[in-house]
Amino acid sequence: MRDKRMSLDDVVGELRSGMTIGLGGWGSRRKPMAFVRAILRSDLKDLTVVTYGGPDLGLLCSAGKVKKAYYGFVSLDSAPFYDPWFAKARTGGEIVAREMDEGMVKCGLEAAAARLPFLPIRAGLGSAVVDFWEGELKTVTSPYPGPAGTETLIAMPALNLDAAFVHLNIGDKHGNAGYQGVDPYFDDLYCMAAERRYLSVEKIVETEQLVKEIPLQQLLLNRMVVDGVVEAPNGAHFTLAGDSYGRDEKFQRHYVESAKDPESWKAFVDRFLSGSEDDYQAEVRKFAQEQA
């Protein structure tokens, strides 16, 4: 079986500007932040991003890497809730927004996973979602009239991805992986909807240990849906990661505060985002000590 271990920078080397990428997790929960930081270090640009957005989308916006965004919401999940960099990109008119109902994101990923051009869904009808999509979103009429008449529904198009990035708690070097905690989110769907699938995990273990350590139902990914595996301990920081760790609320607040003016943001970038992932993790540890 193939050994799929890669470095963060190997993964970014396989990407191209203009790609459509999906980012797993949810809001400020188990986001593939180490991958996001690796993209920030690269010269990739003009990305189309599909996500249940959090600080992942915010950081990509801070570096002007996003051309278009498909999302159900963008939230930091704790005060002040609204991501400051996403807000700046939106109020500056810098990104094309394909805002949609949260359920439509799941539906679009499921369509892509099943290689279907669309799936019907009720959510979206009557709302501004149709206007956000500027003609890209169509309806479909049922061929089966019901007792109440014939239904016309949203035809949610497949959210086909060039690449997907997800972070899980534990995996092997072949791409089998599982989550530990209360929620898988939608990480399997992102992988099934994508051409290239990149997984980071808190720890890489032997397959035998993986299947012993977690229940079968938590083995979310198999080898067929993963192309590259990166061992990235604390790789979801500053978002939470199930049983591995909670959200770093102090650091997330520092991220928000730093976004307020160019000088404080430059200081944030210089300190946390100008070196390697190891440099980032070392500075994060120092930050936690300073704040203790």
Least separation in angstroms between CB 289 and another protein: 29
Least separation in angstroms between CB 286 and another protein: 31
When asked if residue 123 is in the footprint of another protein (CB under 8 A), the reply is yes
Q: What type of residue sits at position 196? A: R
For the chain, how many helices (H) and strands (E)? 11, 11
Question: Distance between CA atoms of 260 and 53, rounded to whole angstroms?
Answer: 20
Q: Which residues from 136-175 bind another protein, rule CB under 8 A? A: 146, 148-153
Neighbours of 148 (CB within 10 A): 6
Rank residues 126 and 262 by Cβ distance to another protein and give the closer one. 126
Binding mask 49-68 for another protein (x = CB under 8 A): ----x---------------
Task: Residue 55: name the closest of 35, 34, 79, 85 by CA.
Answer: 85
Least separation in angstroms between CB 163 and another protein: 22
Q: Which residues from 74-103 bind another protein, rule CB under 8 A? A: 74-75, 81-82, 86-87, 90-93, 96-97, 99-103
Question: Distance between CA atoms of 190 and 227, rounded to whole angstroms?
Answer: 13
Binding mask 174-213 for another protein (x = CB under 8 A): --------xxxxx---------------------------
Question: Distance between CA atoms of 279 and 186, rounded to whole angstroms?
Answer: 30
Least separation in angstroms between CB 123 and another protein: 3
Q: What is the phi-psi region of residue 207: left when phi exceeds 0, alpha when psi lies from -120 to 50, beta otherwise?
A: alpha
Q: What is the phi-psi region of residue 10: left when phi exceeds 0, alpha when psi lies from -120 to 50, beta otherwise?
A: alpha
- Beta strands (DSSP E) in the chain are 20-23, 47-53, 66-74, 96-99, 118-121, 138-141, 152-157, 161-171, 177-178, 194-204, 228-231
Least separation in angstroms between CB 280 and another protein: 27
Only one of the segments 39-47, 120-128, 161-169, 275-283 lies at the binding site for another protein (rule: CB under 8 A); that segment is: 120-128
Rank residues 97 and 211 by Cβ distance to another protein and give the closer one. 97
Least separation in angstroms between CB 279 and another protein: 31
Rank residues 14 and 94 by Cβ distance to another protein and give the closer one. 94
Least separation in angstroms between CB 274 and another protein: 27
Give every CB contact of residue 79 below 8 A, 6+ residues apart in sequence.
Answer: 253
Give me the residues that bind another protein (CB under 8 A), please: 26, 53, 71-75, 81-82, 86-87, 90-93, 96-97, 99-104, 106, 121-129, 131-132, 146, 148-153, 182-186
